[in-house]
Amino acid sequence: MGRYAVRRLLQMIPVFAGATLLVFLMVHVMGDPVAGLCGERQCDPATEARLRQEFGLDKPVWQQYATYMAHVFTGDFGTAFNGQKVIDLMASAFPVTIRLTLVAVVFEVVIGVALGVVMGLRRGRPVDTSVLLLTLVVIAVPTFVTGLLAQLVFGVTWKLVQPSVSFTAPLDELLLPGLVLASVSLAYVTRLTRTSIAENARADYVRTAVAKGLPRHRVITRHLLRNSLIPVVTFIGTDIGALMGGAIVTERIFNIHGVGFQLYQGILRQNTQTVVGFVTVLIIVFLLANLLVDLLYAVLDPRIRYA
């Protein structure tokens, strides 16, 4: 198990290097960061040269990347052009987005898994068919449309919630945005759980459990669920990273000052340090979530553990 974890960790390193380099290069060609710095007017050449040197922009790009990564590993994500430390921006933005993501994951687990189990056990009945159709509709409507409509209906028409979230983003105000963020994944979790349950319900070992004379609830919880939820857990784990990345849209709609908001601002203002810093952290989160999933998978499925 320990060796497995170490091996997976080592496999992550080239992926991390590749992904961050890719983003670094993207941002590098994003445009001239100095050009936007002097406001509307043209910078004078002397100031421009000084700024370039100050930010190390006169060096070749691979050298800039190496220097940047070296700094990142000491916890230094650099300074945005407006003088704010990127790490400070992160300190204010990440807690908000993590809260939002957690709300979304809770929705996925509670609603998605519960619906999926019920549907899987009642396959082909009206409940199953109608929820199945509903999940397709949810998947088909892009999150930003869902978000705008939810905001319109719950925030404006029914006035159940504030249409936009306040700066501190308390948990209760994040319920609706969290549900919107979770919506598509929630539909996937429901479908995945349903398929998995329905498939495993016909498995031989479930028949054995029934033949052993176990009570129905025990057959379901101890034998059926344990096996069926393995792919679901995998999906939810990988989804955590995707949710944090996807929060850009939700945060924009509900005016939440999280990671997506800062990234969006960074891109609009061509603030390379902010963009690279945030994206790097997001990629780390994404990869760690994947690693966690792999390890969890091994814990849940002994066939992997001893392979």
Within 199-228, the residues that bind another protein by CB under 8 A are 199-200, 202-205, 207-215, 218, 222-223, 226-227
Q: Angle at which helices 259-268 and 226-253 pack, to 10 degrees?
A: 50
Q: Which residues contact 243 (CB under 8 A, 6 or more apart)?
A: 101, 104, 105, 181, 182, 185
Instruction: Kindly state the number of chain residues that form the binding site for another protein, as judged by CB under 8 A.
Output: 79
56 scored as a contact of another protein (CB under 8 A): no
Cα 257-263-267 angle, rounded to 5 deg? 130
Q: Which among 162, 180, 157, 181 has a CA at the least distance from the CA of 172?
A: 162
Among 55, 107, 188, 254, which residue sits at the site for another protein (rule: CB under 8 A)?
188
Cα 293-135-242 angle, rounded to 5 deg? 35
Stretch that binds another protein, among 1-9, 33-41, 65-73, 297-305 (CB under 8 A): 297-305
Q: Which residues contact 34 (CB under 8 A, 6 or more apart)?
A: 43, 48, 51, 52, 55, 57
Q: Which residues contact 247 (CB under 8 A, 6 or more apart)?
A: 97, 100, 101, 181, 256, 258, 259, 260
Site string for another protein, 98-137 (x = CB under 8 A): --------------------------------------xx
Stretch that binds another protein, among 58-66, 67-75, 111-119, 193-201 (CB under 8 A): 193-201
76 scored as a contact of another protein (CB under 8 A): no
Among 1, 5, 6, 31, which residue sits at the site for another protein (rule: CB under 8 A)?
31
Site string for another protein, 263-292 (x = CB under 8 A): xx--x-------x---x--xx--xx-----
Identify residue 225 by its one-letter amino acid code: L
244 scored as a contact of another protein (CB under 8 A): yes
301 scored as a contact of another protein (CB under 8 A): yes
Stretch that binds another protein, among 68-76, 84-92, 101-109, 232-240 (CB under 8 A): 232-240
Q: Smaller CB distance to another protein: residue 31 or 56?
A: 31
Q: Which among 257, 238, 237 has a CA at the least distance from the CA of 247?
A: 257
Beta-bridge mates of residue 85? 79
Stretch that binds another protein, among 47-55, 77-85, 165-173, 247-255 (CB under 8 A): 247-255
Tell me whether residue 268 is exposed, middle or buried, using C-beta atoms within 10 angstroms of its C-beta: 0 to 12, 13 to 18, 19 or more.
exposed
Site string for another protein, 135-174 (x = CB under 8 A): -xx-xxxxxxx--xx-xx---x------------------
235 scored as a contact of another protein (CB under 8 A): yes
Q: Which residues contact 25 (CB under 8 A, 6 or more apart)?
A: 61
Q: Which residues, numbered 9-28, are part of the site for another protein (CB under 8 A)?
A: 14-16, 18-19, 22-23, 26-27
Q: Smaller CB distance to another protein: residue 140 or 171?
A: 140
Q: Smaller CB distance to another protein: residue 1 or 136?
A: 136
